Structure 1
Amino acid sequence: MPKIDLYRNVHMGQRARLFALATELGAADVSHSGAAAEHAARCLAMTRELREHADHEDTFIHQLLRERAPEAADALEAEHVRLDAAFVALDEQARTLTGTPSEDLPEAQHALYLALNEVISAYLAHLHAEETVAMPALWQYAGAEELGAVMAAFRASRTPEQAFTDLRRMLPALPPAPRVAIVREVMAAASHGQADRTLAAVSGTLSPDQRHRLYEDLGVPEVRAAG
């Protein structure tokens, strides 16, 4: 049985969306009406999401880590200092962009782009520490039942809407095998008669090729996913 990895899948989804956000912001034409506000809002939403994610890890994972591997926990705390500063700087640049005169927008856009990439740089280091220091420590000092209980407690804390959002953010970044395994589990847990609707909902953010492969792997007829 594969080891329970508390970080891997969600981190893959975060990386994919951070990289996409940076690419799209860099290439955006913010001179169009509402475009600057839209991209500023996307950056603010991202820092809000990453802060919430950090809170979830503190609540459900890192207490166990501090008990079993305090040195690994200390390594993560050191990453938070740079990360928090990067979040604050990005938020400030995003709020600045929306009030920038049109003639100054190119420079303000680039400043936001640089601030976003500083967040990405800091966040990648943080993810690396969690994946190569924290998770191996948990494998060494905590049993599979404890790790499973951590995962179960987090899932129980999410509303159905939040759980769907989590999946729709994560699934496009995963390879086919773990993607179909997660979706099978979600469909099995769905209410009676709701498996097809659940499948359509969670696959709504997949590309056409990814969605086709998912339905093929599940062995079910492909239907249009819910948007």
Structure 2
Amino acid sequence: MPRTDLYRNVHMGQRARMFTLAIELGAADLDGAGAAVYAERCLDLTRELRAHAEHEDTFIHPLLRQRAPAAADALDAEHLRLDAAFAALDASARALPGTAPDDLPEARHGLYLALNEVIAAYLAHLHAEETVAMPALWENATDGELEAVFAAFRASRTADEALADLRAMLPALPAAARATIVRGAVEAAPGEEHRTLAALTTTLAPDQRNRLYADLGLPEVWALRDR
């Protein structure tokens, strides 16, 4: 039976959003309004990744440092490298909206390169967490302790934050994992099942939503009630 993985699902969502942003920014033919949109999307990304690092520092790393200090030290070094890449992307994003129209193509490409530098650094960080930190925790912590980490994080989130977390993650997950998560969320909201399912599925593509309803054994009309 698979053990509790503190990283897998959220990291899959992060990868999907980073890759999508890079593809869309790379193909963008920007005007002034578009420049502001993509600048804000890049700033939103670094805000999200910094907040994620803070969550890990608060909820995961105390246990990791206690049980596997060498792995914790490796992640600390990764954070320093990431901070520099985040700062460079932020600077490039903030400069983009004020760029003269004739200079926008080169400025957009500069932002694209800064974004991909973040992605490259962040992918290495995710790999370290998934192949070094998580195995170290599996070796040195119990399932109960890992579940307690999850429980503490969930308790720290407001209802709106928890919904946003799931909406960001669900499109990137395999169908079976998506159905398990959504089923748990729906069962945890007695009397609000219809609204909960509708709220959770707003970020899914139509084929993903149809597969989810099939996996849950629900007709689409049930899921769309009370929208």
TM-score by length of 1: 0.97
The equivalent of 1:34 in structure 2 is 33
State the one-letter code of the partner of 1:137.
Answer: A
The equivalent of 1:72 in structure 2 is 71
**In the alignment, is residue 20 of structure 1 matched against residue 20 of structure 2?**
yes
Offset, 1:226: 9.5
The separation in 2 between residues aligned to 1:37 and 1:143, in whole angstroms, is 47
The equivalent of 1:218 in structure 2 is 216
The answer (yes or no) to whether the contact 1:203–1:226 under 8 Å persists in 2 is no
Q: How does 1:61-100 map to 2 (within 5 A)?
A: 61-100=60-99
Q: Tell me which stretches of 4 or more aligned residues in structure 1 moved more than 3 Å.
A: 223-227
State the one-letter code of the partner of 2:165.
Answer: D
**In the alignment, is residue 2 of structure 1 matched against residue 37 of structure 2?**
no
Q: How does 1:165-176 map to 2 (within 5 A)?
A: 165-176=164-175
State the one-letter code of the partner of 1:222.
Answer: E
The separation in 2 between residues aligned to 1:30 and 1:161, in whole angstroms, is 33
Offset, 1:225: 9.1
The equivalent of 1:127 in structure 2 is 126
The separation in 1 between residues aligned to 2:3 and 2:201, in whole angstroms, is 25
The separation in 1 between residues aligned to 2:101 and 2:33, in whole angstroms, is 12
The answer (yes or no) to whether the contact 1:171–1:179 under 8 Å persists in 2 is yes
1:85-104 deviation line (CA, Å, top 9, x unaligned): 00000000000101101111
SS across alignment from 2:9 = helix
Query: Compared with structure 1, are the counterparts of its residues 107 and 226 closer, same or farther at alpha carbon in structure 2 (3 Å cutoff)?
Result: farther
Gaps of 5+ in 1: none
The separation in 2 between residues aligned to 1:184 and 1:169, in whole angstroms, is 17
Measured on the aligned residues, the alpha-carbon RMSD in Å equals 1.3
The separation in 1 between residues aligned to 2:83 and 2:210, in whole angstroms, is 40
Count of matched residue positions in the alignment of Structure 1 and Structure 2: 225
Offset, 1:158: 0.4
TM-score by length of 2: 0.97
Gaps of 5+ in 2: none
Identical pairs, percent: 69
The separation in 2 between residues aligned to 1:161 and 1:66, in whole angstroms, is 31
Query: Compared with structure 1, are the counterparts of its residues 175 and 184 closer, same or farther at alpha carbon in structure 2 (3 Å cutoff)?
Result: same
The equivalent of 1:108 in structure 2 is 107
